């Protein structure tokens, strides 16, 4: 590289510019990482959507299937017959529907004297979040529902007490509910789609969304930020170098 060019860009070794280089590098890494993360989320959403569609059209399960391996049965349809156990109903707090606050009502459906399946019968408005909202028919109920996996607490989130009988929980934790009911619950739960006769005025839950969401657009946005920074910063350095060169040459005599 010519000595004149090295001299022209000598300012890049100044402390304030070194700090600018490091900051720009960190931002570029952050932009690229965010873009890759959003693109991975886009791919994961697409894979999940395929699973939802494929499993929802698979052979309908029976109650016996729910007590076997839970692998590959989420989102499958299941048909159940049994009797409600309203005294063991629990509320799942902080659940919304069309931007309205409320809760989910989960009730065991006894399929034998010893076994039951936890069923989320629907959503209740916050003003109606009371387990006594269930009005079970005395005869056997027949329902079709969607299988879902038991929910677990992540790295953050409310904790439910590990002991005692809880009237409400922060999530649909089948294992925790199993501790306080007189049945052996299946390790999964079911969301009601239709039931005969109807058990409650709760609003049935919406099916899992199958749209791709905004992740691809976000990924493109972060990659554009990266491109702007990767191209723009060298241009800033070049402009500053030329400005410095012009100042060093001084005014031209006529």
Quick: pLDDT tens for 22-47. 999 999 999 999 999 999 999 999 99
Q: How many domains does the chain have?
A: 2
CATH of the domain at 161: 2.40.50
Question: To 10 degrees, the CA torsion angle through 140, 143, 148, 150?
Answer: -10
Which residue stretches of the chain have pLDDT < 70?
Answer: 1-9, 130-138, 199, 244-254
Q: CB 189: neighbour CB atoms within 10 A?
A: 26
Q: Is residue 253 situated within a structural domain?
A: no
Residues 144 and 221 in one domain: no
- pTM of the predicted model as reported, rounded to 2 decimal places: 0.76
Does 217 lie in the same domain as 130?
A: no
- What the block records as the tokens of 154 is 């992540």
* Residue 56, in any domain of the structure: no
User: Which residue range(s) make up the domain with 14?
Assistant: 3-45+213-246
User: Are residues 142 and 219 both part of a single domain?
Assistant: no
- DSSP assignment letter at 13: G
Specify the pLDDT at position 4.
59
């Amino acid at each position: 590289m010519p000595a004149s060019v090295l001299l022209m860009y000598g300012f890049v070794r100044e402390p304030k510019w070194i700090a600018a280089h490091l900051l720009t590098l960190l931002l570029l890494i952050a932009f690229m990482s965010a873009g890759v993360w959003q693109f991975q989320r886009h791919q994961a959403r697409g894979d999940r959507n395929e699973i939802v569609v494929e499993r929802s059209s698979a052979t309908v399960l029976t109650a016996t299937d729910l007590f076997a391996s839970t692998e590959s049965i989420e989102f499958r349809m299941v048909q159940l017959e049994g009797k409600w156990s309203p005294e063991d109903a629990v509320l799942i707090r902080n659940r919304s529907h069309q931007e309205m606050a409320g809760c989910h009502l989960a009730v065991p459906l006894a399929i034998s004297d010893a076994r039951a399946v936890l069923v989320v019968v629907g959503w209740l408005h916050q003003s109606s979040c009371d387990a006594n909202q269930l009005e079970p028919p005395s005869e056997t109920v027949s329902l079709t529902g969607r299988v879902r996996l038991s929910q677990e607490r992540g790295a953050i989130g409310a904790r439910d007490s590990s002991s005692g009988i809880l009237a409400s929980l922060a999530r649909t934790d089948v294992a925790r509910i199993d501790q306080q009911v007189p049945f052996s619950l299946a390790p999964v739960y079911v969301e009601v789609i239709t039931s005969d006769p109807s058990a409650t005025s709760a609003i049935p839950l919406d099916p899992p969304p199958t749209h791709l969401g905004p992740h691809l657009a976000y990924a493109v946005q972060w990659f554009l930020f990266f491109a702007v920074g990767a191209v723009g910063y060298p241009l800033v350095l070049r402009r500053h170098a030329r400005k410095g060169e012009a100042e060093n040459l001084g005014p031209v005599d006529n």
